[in-house]
Amino acid sequence: MDAPAEQMTPATDAAAEGHQLPESIDILQIMQSIPHRYPFLLIDKMVEIHAGQSAIGIKNVTVNEPFFQGHFPSHPVMPGVLIVEAMAQTAATLVVMTLGKAFEGKLVYFMTIENAKFRRPVGPGDQLRIHVDKERSRANVWKFKGVARVDGVAVAEATFSAMIMG
């Protein structure tokens, strides 16, 4: 029996012209796109991918996360900087998928993080839905607005830019 055809969304960015992206990708495809690995790979899946524009990264937060051993053992809280890093990993995967195979595994470096706000703690059992939207891109520099939500409620947000090293 044949597997169902993967649903595709048309590429809308000029850089992505000529190819389509899947509507969702799994952890193996994320690992093919960016070089991060355990314990620093902070997204498990991506959905609602719109080439060159936006995507949602999903992070299932479990009690087994290594940062909970010290932050804080009696009241586990995901560090806010790691939520911002998860935003950046979501954006980096979107950029690499938009630009194509030649950029898979390339390093992406933060350039700026602005207006970071943390609204409420994130802990074990939460599922982060990390919404990233491109504000602009120029050459190899991309700027995004990210909002992380748990159960539809914003828990963190930031605007950030990064450079992909090609």
| Eight-state DSSP code of residue 74 | T
Could you count the other beta carbons within 10 Å of the beta carbon of residue 124? 14
Active site residues: 71
Query: Does the N-terminal peptide bond of residue 124 adopt cis geometry, omega within 30 degrees of 0?
Result: no
Secondary structure, 3-state, 81-138: HHHHHHHHHHHHHHHHHHHCHHHCCCCEEEEEEEEEEECCCCCCCCEEEEEEEEEEEE
Torsion of CA 12, 155, 111, 137, to 10 degrees: 20
Q: Cα–Cα distances in Å, from 63 out to 83, 94, 122?
A: 16, 28, 11
